[in-house]
Structure 1
């Protein structure tokens, strides 16, 4: 079996130093569609360095980009084909607001390996801290198709009961034809998002948008609409990637407030009859 779960889980954590500048934050924000309209004061907090606020989902690309997908495949005990890999979900905890520029020490380790029968799931945990203490904790769930079935632990279910009643807000966000090409400049170079031939080998009709790009687009919508445009109110953000997005499509984002401290979200593709894109999505906030 290409995945040796015991060996992978026993591997020593990897530590490293990362750094980011305002330019990296600005590029990330543009990659998730910020800046439209370009002179809107609400957009300028994402696109103008003198007013810059950092959307917490920037943590998924800070310093290195997409820590859960590519680097997770280089851990001891893991030898899989990139074309079999899909990003299954993301869990982000923000310990305090992310500065617009800074450095941090990151610790990466495999937190779990689950056997889902037809696939294996790798949970890669990345913790970041600077001189003032912890900044964020990221768990990326990576599905490796065809690598399950060895009788291992299936792991917990990430499925939540769907929200009830009509959503408080529903918005639509267009995805540019070149959105994936722009987003990948923040560090996720997986050819699945740019190379038509690679996408076809992986089973898709054409390159798909990064799941973490949809993740960022969705968090920005929640912050802008229900959190008074204040990214520092976000405490954690969870999602399951339920389906793909093709560049050029439109995202329909539905939001429900819960208990004054959380927002449930569902995201679908308008052009494909509301095909689910993000599910079991929760933003916890102050």
Structure 2
């Protein structure tokens, strides 16, 4: 069995895919999955499900949602009695050898970073692409989120953006800068306050012999940051801007030998 939470919650087993249509059950199972290997108290689940305004019989409702989670796992081919265990203070989800896409994502990112540090950019890029392929969309989109699910969704989005940055850096190190101009143009539009994407876009445009456009990207970043935050671009972005103005040879792609 395989648990997948980098997108809508999904269970895969024997080449079949199983999803939930009940938001409260999805929230319950997702909270238990995120805390796998640890006891999640009933009070904790109540907070995830209803925030600070639980219904009168919240504890009984939690019991029902846990029971429905077990039935869902059984329908997906799992052993619900072993997967979700009742403890004195709450419930514990045990993977019991099942795989989880979050673990696979972390492993791919760790391997990619190690390979990148070793200068093995082609292999690093492959691992970053493996990690990105696990991201199926926003985590639990449309499901009411408590503090645990909100924190997890925030972590997943930040990890996705870091993975994109690292994959771009590997492509750039391999001299494949023209491949990522379109992607980075989209990312700067989607995340206008993330300066790292501006920096990467300026560099790949410069290396693509598009110096004027690279300088225009800096002016756009400067305008947005001033308007939205009242700040000037970070020092690293300002230094890159100056290097592009002077055609600093340090910006050229390093050559072997």
Q: TM over 0.5: same fold?
A: no
TM-score, normalising length: structure 2: 0.24
> Which protein is richer in helix relative to its size?
2
> Which protein is richer in strand relative to its size?
1
Which protein is bigger by CA-based radius of gyration? 2
TM-score, normalising length: structure 1: 0.22
